Structure formats: structure tokens, C-alpha cells
Structure 1
């Protein structure tokens, strides 16, 4: 029997072990910041409906790749989930309520739907925090099946994976060890943080500083002391004219991370606008 979904409190997440963090509920917490009236029970019922529709078919299939093929066919062909290629940076692509209602999303949001439905059916699908687009992986014997949720769950071979990672690494060619490291499963905290970073980037680009600060603050709730989130929240405060918040966050950033690539630029900015005394390091 399906247990009704309960959303956790943000304040409990930092102390929650990664393997105990609920992925779907966590993504709905992120969405609830933007949509306070979000109906978590309804959204949970939609994904449960997908799983219930598939259960008899998937249970009758023995091989995991074929189970996954049936799940992908239902989600991407029959229900119609798809990557939003036309408006990739639309923030609605990151909010699970919008993704479920519109059937459009970005890679990590679609991966969340795919993973959640698969796991409800006993299929151990994991995320991969791959450079560029987020991917998913299914254990198959001694290896894995890697799929692209942004493109209807299409399987990716080694050659394509190497080509995708090439622009993101020095030298442009991933050896076996590098590729194996990049294909490790992503924990729930990593996924939630990547979602929030995506949203922060979208809002910062649009100079929507209230929402950008909110995303950085949630990152710090999930993982206190995260350097980029501390810096980004401080810069957002600065853009909003919240001088005390900017002084505290940016001051802590340069004090704790004096050797960061941008520490000197942040320090000079603080000194220039008179928010802090110059520090000796």
C-alpha cells in the first residue's frame, strides 16, 4: 500500500544522511518556495499512477534493461514527458509541479520523474551528475546502462559519453578512470543542490535577486558553508542593498577561502565599497 507523501522541513535536511534524503519530496520543497499552494499529495498521486499503470507489465519482464525500456516508453512516448529544447532556461523546467503538469522539463527534473517512477517499480535507477546534461544509470551485470532523460531516455554508448564530456575537461579526452568517476551515482543531496544551482543561475542571469538569494540560501540549508552558495548569497544581498547580509557572507567567504580563484576580486569589491576592513592573509 502506498504511503501518503510527507514533505520534510527545510531545517531538518542538513542533519539528514544523504541516503535518507527523499528525492521527490526534496524537489517539491524547492518547488514550494515558488508555488506555496503546491499540492504535494496530488503530484505524488500522478507519479504513483504512472507506476501503477506499468506495474503488471514491468513485473512480468525479467531483464532490467527491458523493464526500463517499458518505463521509458510509457513516460516519454505515451504520457509525453519531454525535454524543453525550445526554452531550456525557463525556470518552470526545474520545478517538479510544473514539469509534471506541463510534461516539459530540464534533464535533472526529468531524471527525477524517471527515477522516482522506476524506483516505485523496484528498478534501481540512479542519477549521474554528468558535465553538461544530467544523466541516469541502471546497473546491468558488471556494467551499466546510461540514458539521457532529456532525450526520451535514449541510451548512450561510450563514444558518445566521451564526446559529451570532452568540452568540460582539460585536454578534451576522458580516460577510463576519469569517465568512471564521472559516471558514479549522484546522491540525493547532490541532485537537490544541482537543481538549486540551475535555478540560481537562471535567476542571477535575469537579475531576479530575491529569487537568486533564496536559491543560494536553500543551498546553504542543505550543505552549510558551501563556498559558492555563500558567495552567491552575499552578492545577491549586495545587489538588493542588504548591506549587513552582504558584509557577513562575503566577509566570511574571503576569510574562509582566501585562496579561491575569485577571493581577491571579492575582497577588493568589499574594500572598494567600504563594507569591510582590508584583511591580512
Structure 2
């Protein structure tokens, strides 16, 4: 029996990282998203850079103050000394989602910067979570008396009124609510590592769709299907991407999976017709 001594492919490695919700290593999984774009990426280097940042922060006794004091110290270090901020020059640059690049340039988007902030915050004992707020990823810190919602781009807290206005701008139908009756809590739930990865990948999926870059979009879809094996919409979308690049057999498998579990979908007839057309060509 021969042993397989070859290193895992990027997709195999990603698959191994996201098998279990309980043990999903968010930072490592986020760093690995860049492997399709950067095959020679040194993941260990990026993880080491974050580890050194955590060590520098802890040496300042940042873990010994109150929660608010620790947040203040972290923000001074993260935004002031390290200089992390929004990439205002090119918000839709895919590199803004690739953590090794964000670590190098200190520029990114709310979710990539937010992931780094969460890693540093947890290293000094803060009880923190990401929040998949519509239109803008946010940070949540649990306090003895409640919680505070922060902007990952600045570390500043949002008032409930500010959050209400942001939510109404993203979801017009919620303009019927006022600040007292707005169901804010529904949109401030803690995001799991899998949900954070999903949001990052869907950001990239949309960027590559707009850029009409089918090959790179398909690479992202491969990861989404691995991450969300029972999300049949993602399976359908990957099938459409396979069809577009002429990978007929893979497209047929995905279309069949979609139909098996989404018979009542509005586009089920359309996908069934596509499937039959591909079968006729085979």
C-alpha cells in the first residue's frame, strides 16, 4: 500500500478546516481563502504575524483592565499604532478579503479588518463576536450589563439610533418601524465562524461576477459548496458556472442535486430544462 505524501490541495486543506463548527479555526480558514489567488501563500507566516501582534498587545498588560479599558487599549494599538483602516482607494479589490494582504498593507474592508480585531480582542480576554449586520460587518463585545456594538473600521461604538438608521437604509421596508419598535436584536446576533467565512466568500463571488471573471468566481463557488454542503442555491450557482465553462458533467451533477432538494423552487423548471439539454448533448 502506497502512502500519499503529497501536500493537500487548497480545497482539500480548506475542507479539513471547516469540517466541524465546534473546532473551526476562523483565522486559519480566512487566511486560506487566498490560496486560489496566491498558490505559494505562506499561511504560517500570516498566522505568525497575528501571533506577534497578540503578544505585543498582551505585554502592555492590556488583559488586566476593565472591559472598556481593554477595548480602549486595543483600539489605540490596532487603529493608532498598527494603522488598520478601510481601503478607500479600491473598496472592491479582491485583495481586501485576503488576510495576508490586509496584514501587509493595513488596509481592508470591515469584515477582514474585523476578523483581525476579533483575534486580538480574544487574546486579551474580551468576550467578542462578529455581527453580520446588513451592509456592514460589525463587532459585538459582551459586557456585564449588556453589549456594545462597534465599527470594525474605527473601533467606535454605535448607538441604537445609529444602528436603526443604518438598518432602515439597508432594508427599506423597516422604515415603518421607529427606534423603539425596530427589531434590532434580530440583526445583532453573533455570527459563527462558518457564517463569517460565508459572508467573505459571497463578497468575493459578487466581485468576480461583476468583473465577469468566471474562472475566479467558480473557484470561490467551490469553497462555498464545501462550506455549505446543504445550501442548494450555492450548488445551483456552481452548476451554472460549470455550464458556462463547458464542464458539462459537473454541471449536470449540481443541477440534479439542486432539483432533488429544491423541487418547489421558482426556477426548478428552468434548471430541469437546462439539465435535460445537457443530457441531450452528452
**Worse-matched range after superposition: 47-56 or 180-189:** 47-56
**Worse-matched range after superposition: 173-182 or 67-76:** 173-182
Task: Give the C-alpha shift of residue 261 in structure 1.
Answer: 4.0
Kept in 2, the 8 Å contact 1:21–1:188? The answer is: yes
- Report the secondary structure of 2:91's partner residue: coil
1:20 to 20, 23, 26: 23
Task: Give the C-alpha shift of residue 142 in structure 1.
Answer: 2.8
The reply to whether residue 199 of structure 1 matches residue 201 of structure 2 is no
Task: Give the C-alpha shift of residue 9 in structure 1.
Answer: 2.7
1:37 to 36, 40, 43: 40
The reply to whether residue 89 of structure 1 matches residue 86 of structure 2 is no
Structure 2 match to 1:169: 171
With normalisation by structure 1, the TM-score equals: 0.86
Task: Give the C-alpha shift of residue 61 in structure 1.
Answer: 4.6
Gaps of 5+ in 1: 1-6
Task: Give the C-alpha shift of residue 92 in structure 1.
Answer: 0.2
- Report the secondary structure of 2:140's partner residue: strand
2:156 to 146, 154, 157: 154
Query: Structure 1 residues 258 and 152, CA, compared in 2 at 3 Å: closer, same or farther?
Result: same
Kept in 1, the 8 Å contact 2:140–2:148? The answer is: yes
With normalisation by structure 2, the TM-score equals: 0.86
Number of paired residues?
A: 267
1:46 to 44, 49, 62: 49
Moved over 6 A (4+): none
Task: Give the C-alpha shift of residue 221 in structure 1.
Answer: 1.1
Task: Give the C-alpha shift of residue 88 in structure 1.
Answer: 1.3
How much is the aligned-residue C-alpha RMSD, in angstroms?
2.3
- Report the secondary structure of 1:244's partner residue: helix
The reply to whether residue 102 of structure 1 matches residue 105 of structure 2 is yes
